[in-house]
Every structure is written in structure tokens, then in C-alpha cells.
Structure 1
């Protein structure tokens, strides 16, 4: 419903702006520019979707290998001490624990569409433990919050869009996204734990937090010590090395377990193709809406107003150009994706604004969509504190994304 209002709003605002432009200037060509934007963005959305198909096939194929080699199950057993702290009401051997790990793993690998069916399966498992079927349990709320925070280690879709946009190094936003999404996840984890009175100060959690904070501190220190060009070169090199290492680990794991790596990859890649086809209508719809909005002059008017406001306050206002992506992200994943693509098309994939929009896109997930889908699938009617806490995590992710983009690319 929210996305419907947003989509209609783009056209209504564009029409009003076009009428105002016509009244003030007598320029009928404004309507020609709007129609041209419709056709151009329709073509652009389809081309982007075709390019994205290959990347989704790649990562879903690799994930299928990881599933069959037992890598994910092994990681689940390693993560069990941590998950038991966050979900104390779920028995350790209950199927929900395995589903939780599989879902979080898919999110961490940047496979949003693969994570969704796993998330629904997890909610069904958690519902089996729920004594009151219309109210969410603490475990459900913690799980939903972690999903909304969108913890991502491999932002594969963002990297794919940057490749399509012609970025010199599409993976150069890897570390900024990792830092922003980690901040979002830590905020939701702490908020949920305080509300549910979960004692996080236990050895596995303390060790986890210390490792994360140490990593953050090391990156910030390194950024302060090195020239910007050298820091960018090192950070993007590490990003690429980690991605290659993960791919090799999956493939060699399959060889070691003597599974048919090729057939496993093909099976997963087929799922990637179906996923890519499914997002084409959504991407085209949002890109057309954004194109109409921008062609009417409404986007420029909004940006100029915000730029003037922050410049009058003496602040650096470059981040304002990425504000539409920040505001759209909790409402619509496809909408935020469209705004991210639009930012790269307008300002350049390697511009500060283009990189910030990409970092914001990877910082968190689509809060409203996740709440509606996951709760609706199992008949939960009351969302409790899920929405406000998740929006606070979104805010933390957006603020961190802005700060680290200045650190890495200013």
C-alpha cells in the first residue's frame, strides 16, 4: 500500500510541477521531456535487470554449493552460542535455530531474495512455539529486527549495479557498507535486548562486540594515518580479496566433500534467474516514477531547497543529494534501488553522491516490507515495538553510512 502511494505520488507531483512550469514559462516541452523519461527509464530498467541476472545466478549458485557441502551447517554450530543468547526462548535443537542461521547467512551474503523464503520458514517455526498466535513473541521481534537491519557481508546486488553503472572498482563500497550495516545491526540488537531484558554481557557476545569494535577502530585509525588515495586503494583491494576468498572457499569445500560442484551451482543459478526475472516489473515501475519526478523538475527543487538550508547552516551539503535514498529505504527496497541507480546515473558511479547512495542502500533492509510480509504470513496482528526500534536502526545505518563515506571517499 505504501509503495502504491509513493508511485502515484511521483506522477501527481510531476504533473503539478509540469503545469506550474507551463504556466510560468509557456514551455510545452516539459511534457515531452516527461514522456521521454518514461520510455528511457523503461528501457534502462530492463537493461539493468538483464545485467543483474548474471550476478544473482552467480551468488545463488555459490550459496547452493555452500549448502550441499555443509559449510552453512558448520557455521550454524559455530554461531550457536551467540544465537542462544539472542533467542533464549528457542530450544537449542529446535528447527527454528537452523532456519534463523540460514536466513541470516543469506542476508549476510547479500542475497535478499533468497533470504525471504528462509525468513518466512523461520517465522513459521517460531510460530509453532508461540502460545498466543496473534501476538509476536520476543524471538520473533528479535529475528524481525535483525532482518530489518540487513546485516550484509557481501553486498552483491549493490556491486552489480555499480558494475552496470561503469564504476572503476564496483567493490570499493564493500567496507563502508560493512561498517554501516554493522552499526544498524548493533543498534537493533541492543534495543531489543534492553526491551526483552536479555543479558548480552556474556562471553560469546562480549567477544563478538569487541571484535567488531576493534575492527571499526582499526579502520578509522588507518584512514587517519594514510593519504586518501592510499587508503582507498588498500580498502578496495581488501574488499576484492575477501570476496575472492569466499568464492574459493565455497568451491574448494565442494571439491573436498566430493559433491558435483558444477551441478550444484547450476541448480542455484536457476533460482537466481527466477529471482532476477521477478524483480523486473518492480524496478521498471520505480525507475519510471523517479524519471517522471526528476524530469518535471521536482527532484531538483527538493535538492536545491535542502542544499540551501544546510549551506546556510555552514554544513557540508554533498550528502543531501543521497537523502532521497535514505528516506526511501525503509519504505521500499525497489524504490531505494531505483533512487540509488538514479543517483549514479546523474552524478556518476564514482562520485561522492553515487557511492553514498550505494552505501545507504546496503546499510539496512526494507523495514515496512519485512514487517508486513513476515507478520502477515503467520497471521500476527500486533507488531508491538518492531517498527519504531527498526526505524531507529535504519537511522543509525544512514548516519554511519554518511560518516564512513566521508571517511573513505571525501
Structure 2
């Protein structure tokens, strides 16, 4: 029988964590308690902190130090490695403050999508992106501090335990479709392209569209890493522009690295690489106020990428494409990369686009299963959607052995 894992810092949160254990056991679940404390105190948990710490790449000595910040960071890394080794894990739950939340959720994020994950935290009523990331962690606000068992904590922790037990006892119904899952990336300014593309492919594929807002690209790659995608048509690589140019919607420097780990078919393009994203107009950093800016809506301001930024973006993309293990097609829309990058539109800048396209072309390594196509089309032209679909059919033919969703 798969177990419910109760994880946290038992030196400071033992009452609350044991309350979770007892609640789960009353519901008939087998429970494993895992201690993430870095204080060195004796542990009452099933799994001692030192056992977790041994999974750190540099061993347990890297975890236990006098500096609390580095110790919790090292324990989080050790826990991430530890949790990957557990073959009886049916679900995981934790409760804690900022430190405990950071450690527990790093391990939770390492688990595949669909494995039940519940985090009761004082940090849940705020920006939870650092904790949840691209994963399906259920964050529950603790209301009071996670300190003591009283009428409020009993209600919150009891509900959390019941939620985890329900998820373990009643796993989601397996999707009725037998079609392989295909990941696609979209932005508002590339929506026509992706909509036309999905219409061409939806009869044969379960098309999963991800909003390229940073966490969207991360979520798509999390599914790819979990073996839940047959491949990707990465129409909208705009998150890379934010990474290079300092915008707010970056997916981080590891964007596209998953395809160097897994030989998945990949079709990509330059969608929305003409823009770097910020929040409302008054949130744009002062150093960018003289740049070409565009009010997309009251909460989003766009900044046009320069030729130098486009060159750096192109070099970044080419390096990632060169590292990919599977078949690759990358399509360049010479007529413009977004709805506002065409003649008469605010971000039309042929010089910047040429810098982008040339950087990709000059640095890309071609091969039998690796091709770059430059097309005299706009990204939202129907013919460009046709070309993307044709490229996908080319790269997906040898992918019969790829695990399907």
C-alpha cells in the first residue's frame, strides 16, 4: 500500500506534523514521517534528517552547518534527491513557515504531475510562485502561525489531511483519450497561429496549450521531463527575450534544457521575440523609460527588443537547439514574429528581426534530423501554421517509441 509522507522540521513543528500523521492514520493510511530539521537535535520521525542529508551530492556534511540559510538550502537539495528514490510514496504533505515551506516544496516539485502534494504554509497567502513553480502543489494558508494545536490549526490541518487522503484514495480518472499529448506555447500576439495549428492537429493529438508567461514554459517542460508529452511545437519562445532583456516573464536560463535530457521531437519558432514584458506602465524600470514601449493593457507593458538583444536571444536559442537530442525543426517567420511586428504596427523593426534571424542561422548546426527553415511569411499567416504542422509530421515519424500521455 502506498504511503502518505508527512515531511517537515520535527524539531520545531513536531506537534503539528504528528497531528497530520494521526489524522491520516485515522483515515486508514500508512504514514511515513520525514524530518528535514537541520538543528542536529534527536528526531522522532521515521526518517532521520541524516538519512535525508546523505542524498546531498556532497554528503551529509554539506547539510549540517552553523549557517541556517545554507543549511536549509542544502537540506532542500538533499530532500529533492531523497524523495525521488521513494517507491512507496502515494502523496506528500507538510506544514511550516518560510524555511520549512521552501525545503518541503523543493522536494514536492521533483515529483511527477498527478502525485498528490499539499503544503500548509504561512506563506500561502501571497506570491506562491517560488514554492509551486510549474508543479501541481496544493497550497493551503495556515491562517495562524504553524505553532501549536488549537481550534484554528486543528481545522486547517485536519482539512489538509482529509484533502491528501481523498487524493490518495481517489486518484484522478485516467483520461479517456488515447491520443498522444502535444505541448504548444502561445501568447496573445501569436494566438491566431496556435489556434490554426491546433485545428490541424487535434484529430490526432491531445493539444495542450501553455501561456508563455514564464511559469507556462516551465510547466510544459515539467510535463516533458515527466514523460507526459510526445513532443513540443514551441511556437512562442518569448520567455527567452525576458531572460535576456530583464523582463518579468522569464522561464529562467534552463529554458529548452529538457530537450537535451530527453530525445523528444521539437519544432520551434520565434513567437513574440520582439518583446520584453513588464507590469503596469509605472513599473517599467527607469533605465528602460526611453525605449520603445507599448501599453498592451493596464497591467502589461511591452518593450521592443533591440538588435543587440535579438542577437543575444538568437545565440541563446541556437546553443539550446544544438544540444537537443531528438529531431529538430526551427522555423523563422521573416514577415514578423508577433501581431504587432508587421508593417504599420508599433513593433515593426526589420533590422532587429534580421539580427535575430541571422544569429540563429549562423550558430545553428544542421544535420540529417536537424533543419532550420526561413520562410517569407508572418507568424500568424495561415501558411506558416501549415508549415509548422508539416514540420511536426516530419519530426514525429521516428518517435513511435516515445512514451505517450
Give the alignment's TM-score, normalised by structure 2: 0.19
Higher helix share: 1
Give the alignment's TM-score, normalised by structure 1: 0.19
Higher strand share: 2
Between 1 and 2, higher relative CO (CA 8 Å, sep ≥ 6) is seen in 1
